[in-house]
A = this chain, B = another copy of it.
Amino acid sequence: MGELGDPTPAPRVRKRVASIQDVAERASVSIATVSRAVNKPHLVSVETAERVRIAIEELGYRPNRFAQVLMTQRSGLLGVALPDIHGEFYSEILRGADAEARRLGFQILVSASPAHPGEGEEAGGGLGPALGLVDGLAIMVTEPDERLLDTLRNLDVPLVVLDAHLGLGSDVVFVDQEPGSREAMRHLLELTPPQDCFFVGGPQSNFDAQARAKVFDEELRRAGHAPRPDQVTFREYSMSWGERWAHETLGVRGLRRIAVFAGNDDIAIGIMREAQALGLIVPRDLRVIGFDGSTLAGLVRPGVSTVRVPRDDLGRCAVRALVARVQNPDDDVVSLRLPTSLLLRESSGPHE
Protein backbone atom coordinates (compact mmCIF):
# COMPACT_ATOMS: atom_id res chain seq x y z
CA MET A 1 0.00 0.00 0.00
CA GLY A 2 3.03 2.17 -0.21
CA GLU A 3 1.52 3.99 -3.13
CA LEU A 4 -0.72 5.95 -0.88
CA GLY A 5 2.15 7.57 0.92
CA ASP A 6 4.44 10.44 0.18
CA PRO A 7 6.33 9.85 -3.04
CA THR A 8 9.68 10.77 -1.64
CA PRO A 9 10.32 10.18 1.97
CA ALA A 10 13.11 12.61 2.66
CA PRO A 11 14.23 14.83 5.47
CA ARG A 12 12.45 18.11 5.92
CA VAL A 13 14.21 20.95 4.30
CA ARG A 14 12.11 24.03 4.73
CA LYS A 15 14.00 26.32 7.02
CA ARG A 16 12.45 27.58 10.18
CA VAL A 17 10.53 30.73 9.54
CA ALA A 18 8.38 33.03 11.58
CA SER A 19 4.98 31.60 12.41
CA ILE A 20 1.78 33.33 13.22
CA GLN A 21 2.67 32.75 16.86
CA ASP A 22 5.82 34.82 16.54
CA VAL A 23 3.96 37.64 14.90
CA ALA A 24 1.31 37.57 17.58
CA GLU A 25 3.85 37.85 20.34
CA ARG A 26 5.78 40.59 18.64
CA ALA A 27 2.63 42.60 18.05
CA SER A 28 1.27 41.75 21.48
CA VAL A 29 -1.96 40.35 20.16
CA SER A 30 -3.45 36.91 19.81
CA ILE A 31 -2.85 34.72 16.83
CA ALA A 32 -6.48 35.09 15.93
CA THR A 33 -5.99 38.80 15.55
CA VAL A 34 -3.00 38.28 13.35
CA SER A 35 -4.99 35.95 11.21
CA ARG A 36 -7.76 38.48 10.94
CA ALA A 37 -5.41 41.33 10.23
CA VAL A 38 -4.09 39.36 7.33
CA ASN A 39 -7.28 37.87 5.95
CA LYS A 40 -10.08 40.13 7.08
CA PRO A 41 -8.46 43.50 7.65
CA HIS A 42 -11.81 45.18 8.07
CA LEU A 43 -12.33 43.28 11.29
CA VAL A 44 -9.45 44.82 13.20
CA SER A 45 -8.77 48.34 14.33
CA VAL A 46 -6.37 50.34 12.27
CA GLU A 47 -3.87 50.61 15.10
CA THR A 48 -3.80 46.90 15.67
CA ALA A 49 -3.60 46.27 11.98
CA GLU A 50 -0.64 48.54 11.78
CA ARG A 51 1.15 46.90 14.69
CA VAL A 52 0.60 43.54 13.09
CA ARG A 53 1.76 44.80 9.75
CA ILE A 54 4.97 45.98 11.27
CA ALA A 55 5.56 42.78 13.14
CA ILE A 56 4.97 40.84 9.95
CA GLU A 57 7.37 43.02 8.09
CA GLU A 58 10.06 42.78 10.71
CA LEU A 59 9.77 39.07 10.98
CA GLY A 60 9.40 38.51 7.28
CA TYR A 61 6.38 36.46 8.13
CA ARG A 62 4.51 34.65 5.44
CA PRO A 63 1.58 32.47 6.33
CA ASN A 64 2.33 28.81 5.98
CA ARG A 65 0.27 27.77 3.01
CA PHE A 66 0.27 24.17 4.08
CA ALA A 67 -1.51 25.03 7.27
CA GLN A 68 -3.87 27.43 5.55
CA VAL A 69 -4.72 24.81 3.07
CA LEU A 70 -5.39 22.20 5.69
CA MET A 71 -7.78 24.52 7.45
CA THR A 72 -9.61 25.80 4.45
CA GLN A 73 -9.41 22.61 2.42
CA ARG A 74 -8.64 24.83 -0.53
CA SER A 75 -5.28 24.99 -2.20
CA GLY A 76 -5.94 27.38 -5.05
CA LEU A 77 -4.55 24.71 -7.33
CA LEU A 78 -6.33 23.41 -10.40
CA GLY A 79 -5.28 20.20 -12.06
CA VAL A 80 -5.13 20.27 -15.83
CA ALA A 81 -4.57 16.87 -17.33
CA LEU A 82 -3.78 16.61 -21.01
CA PRO A 83 -2.76 13.63 -23.10
CA ASP A 84 0.48 15.38 -23.81
CA ILE A 85 2.14 18.57 -22.84
CA HIS A 86 3.94 19.05 -26.06
CA GLY A 87 3.24 20.65 -29.38
CA GLU A 88 1.46 23.83 -30.26
CA PHE A 89 -1.94 22.34 -29.74
CA TYR A 90 -1.59 21.50 -26.09
CA SER A 91 0.74 24.34 -25.48
CA GLU A 92 -1.99 26.81 -26.39
CA ILE A 93 -4.63 25.07 -24.38
CA LEU A 94 -2.30 25.41 -21.48
CA ARG A 95 -1.67 29.02 -22.14
CA GLY A 96 -5.35 29.76 -22.14
CA ALA A 97 -5.89 27.73 -19.02
CA ASP A 98 -3.00 29.33 -17.25
CA ALA A 99 -4.07 32.85 -18.11
CA GLU A 100 -7.61 32.28 -16.98
CA ALA A 101 -6.57 30.53 -13.81
CA ARG A 102 -4.23 33.34 -12.92
CA ARG A 103 -6.95 35.83 -13.57
CA LEU A 104 -9.21 34.01 -11.16
CA GLY A 105 -6.59 33.63 -8.50
CA PHE A 106 -5.69 30.01 -9.13
CA GLN A 107 -2.63 28.18 -10.27
CA ILE A 108 -2.69 25.27 -12.63
CA LEU A 109 -0.97 22.00 -12.06
CA VAL A 110 -0.26 20.52 -15.43
CA SER A 111 -0.05 16.88 -16.02
CA ALA A 112 0.75 14.95 -19.13
CA SER A 113 -1.23 11.83 -18.55
CA PRO A 114 0.30 8.79 -20.11
CA ALA A 115 -2.13 8.00 -22.90
CA HIS A 116 -2.61 4.43 -21.80
CA PRO A 117 -1.38 4.07 -18.28
CA GLY A 118 -0.04 0.58 -17.73
CA GLU A 119 -1.53 -1.73 -15.17
CA GLY A 120 0.67 -0.54 -12.39
CA GLU A 121 0.50 3.11 -13.27
CA GLU A 122 -1.94 5.48 -11.86
CA ALA A 123 -4.75 6.64 -14.01
CA GLY A 124 -6.44 9.81 -12.78
CA GLY A 125 -4.75 11.98 -15.31
CA GLY A 126 -1.19 11.52 -14.24
CA LEU A 127 -1.24 13.86 -11.28
CA GLY A 128 -0.16 11.22 -8.84
CA PRO A 129 -0.41 12.21 -5.21
CA ALA A 130 -0.82 15.78 -6.35
CA LEU A 131 -4.37 14.95 -7.28
CA GLY A 132 -5.10 15.28 -3.61
CA LEU A 133 -3.86 18.83 -3.63
CA VAL A 134 -6.07 20.32 -6.28
CA ASP A 135 -9.37 22.08 -5.82
CA GLY A 136 -10.63 20.76 -9.10
CA LEU A 137 -9.58 18.85 -12.17
CA ALA A 138 -9.93 19.64 -15.83
CA ILE A 139 -9.10 16.63 -17.89
CA MET A 140 -8.95 16.13 -21.59
CA VAL A 141 -10.05 12.70 -22.62
CA THR A 142 -9.31 11.75 -26.18
CA GLU A 143 -10.35 8.15 -26.24
CA PRO A 144 -12.38 5.61 -24.30
CA ASP A 145 -10.67 4.38 -21.16
CA GLU A 146 -12.54 2.41 -18.56
CA ARG A 147 -9.96 2.69 -15.85
CA LEU A 148 -9.76 6.40 -16.22
CA LEU A 149 -13.51 6.70 -16.12
CA ASP A 150 -13.49 4.79 -12.92
CA THR A 151 -11.00 7.09 -11.34
CA LEU A 152 -12.98 10.07 -12.44
CA ARG A 153 -16.14 8.69 -10.93
CA ASN A 154 -14.51 8.36 -7.55
CA LEU A 155 -12.98 11.77 -7.65
CA ASP A 156 -13.75 13.90 -4.67
CA VAL A 157 -13.14 17.21 -6.35
CA PRO A 158 -15.02 19.09 -9.05
CA LEU A 159 -14.35 17.83 -12.53
CA VAL A 160 -14.51 19.33 -15.98
CA VAL A 161 -14.08 17.10 -18.98
CA LEU A 162 -12.58 18.45 -22.15
CA ASP A 163 -13.48 17.25 -25.57
CA ALA A 164 -15.42 14.16 -24.67
CA HIS A 165 -18.87 13.26 -23.45
CA LEU A 166 -18.27 10.67 -20.83
CA GLY A 167 -21.70 10.48 -19.40
CA LEU A 168 -20.59 11.12 -15.88
CA GLY A 169 -22.54 14.16 -14.94
CA SER A 170 -19.67 16.60 -15.01
CA ASP A 171 -19.29 19.88 -16.78
CA VAL A 172 -18.02 19.51 -20.30
CA VAL A 173 -16.21 21.82 -22.64
CA PHE A 174 -15.83 20.48 -26.10
CA VAL A 175 -14.67 21.46 -29.52
CA ASP A 176 -17.30 20.76 -32.07
CA GLN A 177 -15.48 19.04 -34.90
CA GLU A 178 -18.50 19.11 -37.10
CA PRO A 179 -18.93 22.54 -38.65
CA GLY A 180 -15.30 22.91 -39.67
CA SER A 181 -15.10 19.36 -40.97
CA ARG A 182 -18.30 19.83 -42.91
CA GLU A 183 -17.05 23.00 -44.50
CA ALA A 184 -13.79 21.35 -45.36
CA MET A 185 -15.43 18.39 -47.03
CA ARG A 186 -17.85 20.47 -49.01
CA HIS A 187 -14.99 22.61 -50.18
CA LEU A 188 -13.08 19.58 -51.37
CA LEU A 189 -16.09 17.99 -52.98
CA GLU A 190 -16.78 21.09 -54.98
CA LEU A 191 -13.85 20.34 -57.22
CA THR A 192 -12.94 16.75 -56.58
CA PRO A 193 -15.25 13.80 -57.13
CA PRO A 194 -16.04 11.82 -54.00
CA GLN A 195 -14.28 8.69 -55.20
CA ASP A 196 -11.01 10.63 -55.27
CA CYS A 197 -11.29 11.97 -51.77
CA PHE A 198 -9.37 10.51 -48.86
CA PHE A 199 -9.41 10.80 -45.13
CA VAL A 200 -6.05 10.35 -43.47
CA GLY A 201 -6.68 10.37 -39.78
CA GLY A 202 -5.02 10.11 -36.42
CA PRO A 203 -5.51 7.19 -34.06
CA GLN A 204 -8.75 5.44 -34.79
CA SER A 205 -9.76 5.31 -31.16
CA ASN A 206 -9.60 9.09 -30.83
CA PHE A 207 -12.95 10.71 -30.42
CA ASP A 208 -11.78 13.55 -32.62
CA ALA A 209 -10.53 11.31 -35.35
CA GLN A 210 -13.82 9.50 -35.36
CA ALA A 211 -15.86 12.67 -35.47
CA ARG A 212 -13.89 13.94 -38.42
CA ALA A 213 -14.08 10.63 -40.23
CA LYS A 214 -17.79 10.54 -39.68
CA VAL A 215 -18.27 13.85 -41.43
CA PHE A 216 -16.03 12.65 -44.24
CA ASP A 217 -18.19 9.60 -44.63
CA GLU A 218 -21.42 11.51 -44.48
CA GLU A 219 -20.39 14.06 -47.03
CA LEU A 220 -19.17 11.47 -49.46
CA ARG A 221 -22.43 9.63 -49.25
CA ARG A 222 -24.25 12.86 -49.60
CA ALA A 223 -22.32 13.30 -52.82
CA GLY A 224 -23.59 9.93 -53.91
CA HIS A 225 -20.57 7.79 -53.12
CA ALA A 226 -20.15 5.18 -50.43
CA PRO A 227 -16.48 5.44 -49.35
CA ARG A 228 -14.26 2.51 -50.21
CA PRO A 229 -12.14 1.17 -47.34
CA ASP A 230 -8.98 2.60 -48.84
CA GLN A 231 -10.46 6.06 -48.67
CA VAL A 232 -10.39 6.15 -44.91
CA THR A 233 -7.26 5.36 -42.93
CA PHE A 234 -6.19 5.97 -39.39
CA ARG A 235 -2.85 5.91 -37.69
CA GLU A 236 -1.37 8.77 -35.72
CA TYR A 237 -1.06 12.51 -35.57
CA SER A 238 2.36 12.92 -37.09
CA MET A 239 4.10 14.22 -40.15
CA SER A 240 5.74 10.90 -40.78
CA TRP A 241 2.38 9.18 -40.99
CA GLY A 242 1.36 11.73 -43.58
CA GLU A 243 4.55 11.16 -45.50
CA ARG A 244 4.10 7.44 -45.41
CA TRP A 245 0.52 7.62 -46.56
CA ALA A 246 1.46 9.92 -49.41
CA HIS A 247 4.32 7.71 -50.39
CA GLU A 248 2.11 4.68 -50.66
CA THR A 249 -0.74 6.45 -52.32
CA LEU A 250 1.01 8.85 -54.60
CA GLY A 251 4.33 7.12 -55.05
CA VAL A 252 3.40 3.48 -55.19
CA ARG A 253 -0.15 3.56 -56.42
CA GLY A 254 0.41 6.64 -58.48
CA LEU A 255 -2.84 8.39 -57.70
CA ARG A 256 -3.30 11.94 -58.96
CA ARG A 257 -5.82 14.68 -58.74
CA ILE A 258 -7.06 13.59 -55.42
CA ALA A 259 -8.20 15.51 -52.38
CA VAL A 260 -7.23 14.72 -48.82
CA PHE A 261 -8.87 15.65 -45.58
CA ALA A 262 -6.09 15.11 -43.10
CA GLY A 263 -6.59 14.40 -39.42
CA ASN A 264 -4.43 17.30 -38.44
CA ASP A 265 -1.97 19.78 -39.84
CA ASP A 266 1.04 17.63 -39.15
CA ILE A 267 -0.38 14.86 -41.26
CA ALA A 268 -1.38 17.34 -43.95
CA ILE A 269 2.09 18.80 -44.08
CA GLY A 270 3.66 15.37 -44.16
CA ILE A 271 1.49 14.46 -47.10
CA MET A 272 2.29 17.66 -48.86
CA ARG A 273 5.99 17.33 -48.36
CA GLU A 274 6.08 13.81 -49.63
CA ALA A 275 3.97 14.81 -52.60
CA GLN A 276 6.39 17.58 -53.38
CA ALA A 277 9.29 15.22 -52.95
CA LEU A 278 7.65 13.02 -55.57
CA GLY A 279 7.54 15.95 -57.92
CA LEU A 280 3.85 16.59 -57.58
CA ILE A 281 2.36 19.99 -57.30
CA VAL A 282 -0.04 21.01 -54.56
CA PRO A 283 -2.88 21.70 -55.10
CA ARG A 284 -2.74 20.77 -58.77
CA ASP A 285 -2.16 17.07 -58.25
CA LEU A 286 -3.27 16.91 -54.68
CA ARG A 287 -5.57 19.11 -52.70
CA VAL A 288 -5.23 18.91 -48.98
CA ILE A 289 -6.84 20.32 -45.88
CA GLY A 290 -5.47 19.89 -42.40
CA PHE A 291 -6.91 20.37 -38.96
CA ASP A 292 -6.02 22.47 -35.90
CA GLY A 293 -5.17 25.81 -37.39
CA SER A 294 -1.53 25.48 -36.42
CA THR A 295 0.91 28.27 -37.09
CA LEU A 296 2.97 25.90 -39.11
CA ALA A 297 0.19 25.37 -41.60
CA GLY A 298 0.41 29.03 -42.50
CA LEU A 299 4.15 29.00 -42.82
CA VAL A 300 4.85 26.22 -45.24
CA ARG A 301 4.50 26.64 -48.98
CA PRO A 302 1.90 26.40 -50.22
CA GLY A 303 -0.07 27.46 -47.19
CA VAL A 304 -2.15 24.62 -45.84
CA SER A 305 -5.88 25.05 -45.55
CA THR A 306 -6.95 23.97 -42.14
CA VAL A 307 -9.81 23.77 -39.72
CA ARG A 308 -9.38 26.27 -36.97
CA VAL A 309 -9.69 25.03 -33.43
CA PRO A 310 -10.14 27.60 -30.68
CA ARG A 311 -7.34 26.18 -28.59
CA ASP A 312 -6.83 28.82 -26.01
CA ASP A 313 -10.55 29.24 -25.64
CA LEU A 314 -10.68 25.60 -24.80
CA GLY A 315 -8.23 26.00 -21.96
CA ARG A 316 -9.75 29.24 -20.88
CA CYS A 317 -13.31 27.96 -20.83
CA ALA A 318 -12.32 24.77 -19.08
CA VAL A 319 -10.75 26.69 -16.27
CA ARG A 320 -13.59 29.12 -16.09
CA ALA A 321 -16.10 26.31 -15.81
CA LEU A 322 -13.97 24.54 -13.26
CA VAL A 323 -13.57 27.56 -11.06
CA ALA A 324 -17.27 28.22 -11.28
CA ARG A 325 -17.94 24.71 -10.09
CA VAL A 326 -15.34 24.92 -7.35
CA GLN A 327 -16.81 28.09 -6.02
CA ASN A 328 -20.36 27.15 -6.57
CA PRO A 329 -20.73 23.39 -6.46
CA ASP A 330 -24.46 23.46 -6.85
CA ASP A 331 -24.73 25.41 -10.06
CA ASP A 332 -26.29 23.64 -12.99
CA VAL A 333 -23.97 21.45 -14.98
CA VAL A 334 -22.81 23.20 -18.11
CA SER A 335 -21.85 21.86 -21.48
CA LEU A 336 -19.90 24.33 -23.51
CA ARG A 337 -19.47 23.93 -27.23
CA LEU A 338 -16.69 25.62 -29.15
CA PRO A 339 -17.19 25.60 -32.91
CA THR A 340 -14.56 24.99 -35.55
CA SER A 341 -14.35 26.66 -38.92
CA LEU A 342 -12.51 26.31 -42.18
CA LEU A 343 -9.51 28.49 -42.94
CA LEU A 344 -8.76 28.47 -46.62
CA ARG A 345 -5.25 28.67 -48.02
CA GLU A 346 -3.55 27.54 -51.19
CA SER A 347 -3.23 23.84 -50.51
CA SER A 348 -6.86 23.19 -51.29
CA GLY A 349 -7.07 25.35 -54.37
CA PRO A 350 -8.28 23.97 -57.69
CA HIS A 351 -6.48 21.11 -59.42
CA GLU A 352 -5.55 23.61 -62.05
Contact = CB atoms under 8 A, between A and B. Distances in A.
Contacts of A92: 86
A94 to B, nearest CB: 6
A109 to B, nearest CB: 6
Nearest to A52: B1
A25 interface: no
Interface residues of A, number: 80
Interface stretch (A69-77, A179-187, A193-201, A336-344): A69-77
Given A10-B326, A66-B132, A38 B4 contact: yes
A94 B90 CA distance: 12
Nearest to A38: B4
- Oligomer: number of copies: 2
Interface in A67-125: 67-70, 72-77, 85-88, 91-92, 94-95, 98-99, 102, 104-112
B8 A39 contact: no
Interface of A: 1-2, 4-15, 17, 37-39, 41, 49, 52-53, 56, 60, 62-70, 72-77, 85-88, 91-92, 94-95, 98-99, 102, 104-112, 126-130, 132-133, 135, 154, 156-158, 269, 296, 299-301, 323, 326-327, 329
